[in-house]
Structure formats: C-alpha cells, structure tokens
Amino acid sequence: MFQTHEKKLIYITGGILAFFFLVSFLIIYPQYQSIQKMNNHILELRTSLELKYEKVRYLHKSQNILAQAKQITTELRSLFIKNGEEIGFISYLEGLADKFSIKQKINIARADKTKNRDIDKIDLQIDTQGEFVDLLSYLTALEHSDYLISISEVNLNRDASFLINMSLKAEVYVQN
C-alpha cells in the first residue's frame, strides 16, 4: 500500500502534528487561560478604580458644595438683624423715609418663633406717602439695603392731593 518513504513521511508529519498538539495543550493553552484570568482581574481592578475615582470626585464636589453652603449661610446670617439691634433697623427705615422725603408709618408684629430657635420673624406693615419717584427710590433703597427684607405685598393708590400712598407687607428676621 504505502511505500516506506511515504510511511516515513506520514510518521514524521504525524509526529510533528502530535508534538504541536502536545505543546499546544501543555504549554500554550494554560498560558492562554492565565492571560484570560489576568485580563479579567485587570478589568475588575479598572472597574474598582473607576468606582473609587467617582466616589472621590463626588466627595470633592460635596466638599465644594458644603463650603459654598457655609459661605452662603454666613452671608445670609449677616443680613439678619442681630437680637437687640431692632431699633437700629427702625432708625434705618426712618432715615430712608427722611432721605426720600416721604411720610412713613411702621407697624411691627413679632411673629412666633420659627422652627429654628436661633431666628425670630418680625412682620412689618409699612405705610408711606409721597411722590411716585421718591417711593420708587425708597423701594430701590430697601432692595439694596444690608438687611434681608422680604416684601410680600405692595399696594399703591393715589389720594385727593395727587400723592401716592404705598402700603408694604414685609418680613425681616432677627438672629438670637
């Protein structure tokens, strides 16, 4: 059937093929599995590092937001009337009325304490009378004042002498 020369060639080819399969299964395949395990491990490490990086980034962002909130709180507290300095605020309002040549009547009602025990709310009813431009300047001065004045209602009407009557409902806060 096959001659010796062909048999030798078949045996050599078979031997070489068997050697390659043996090398593949004993050396290359275990190395391939080791590389796959390392690849999976690297992927897990990368995912873990990305999560840690996001947490650190979120922490830094939270710290920045907290610092901004503290700064805003400090600025806001500086706008409150200090306890015992309410007369200074009333004097400020009277000074504005004199500055803009308007008549003013102030009604004050101290509201119940707010949820935060460090702050009290004062309700104001301010009735003014004067020229429209002067009243507008008065409102602008209130807006730019160093106090936190929350105006909830403004009513304007004209009387028989053509002066404008302005009624304001407002709130200010006192820091205890």
pLDDT at 105: 93
The mean pLDDT of 72-97, rounded to a whole number, is 82
The mean pLDDT of 88-107, rounded to a whole number, is 90
pLDDT at 56: 92
Residue 6: pLDDT over 80 = yes
DSSP H/E element including 130: strand 119-130
| Distance from the first to the final alpha carbon of the chain | 114
Residue 7: pLDDT over 90 = no
Q: Which of 153, 158, 147, 157 is nearest to 168 (CA)?
A: 153
pLDDT at 2: 64
Q: Running DSSP on this structure, what letter comes out for residue 115?
A: S
Pick the residue with more confidence: 52 or 173? Answer: 52
Residue 116: pLDDT over 60 = no
Residue 111: pLDDT over 70 = no
Q: What is the mean pLDDT of the chain?
A: 86
CA separation for the pair 170, 126 (Å, rounded): 8
pLDDT at 94: 92
pLDDT at 115: 59
pLDDT at 117: 65
Give the model confidence (pLDDT) of 128-176 as tens digits.
999 989 999 999 998 888 888 888 899 999 888 888 899 999 988 887 7
What band does 95 get if pLDDT is binned at 50, 70 and 90? very high
Residue 114: pLDDT over 60 = no
What proportions of the chain, in percent to the nearest 5, are helix, strand and coil? Answer: 60, 25, 15
CA separation for the pair 87, 102 (Å, rounded): 20
Under a CB-based contact definition with an 8 Å cutoff, are residues 66 and 74 in contact?
Answer: no
pTM greater than 0.85 (yes/no): no
CA separation for the pair 137, 131 (Å, rounded): 10
CA separation for the pair 145, 116 (Å, rounded): 24
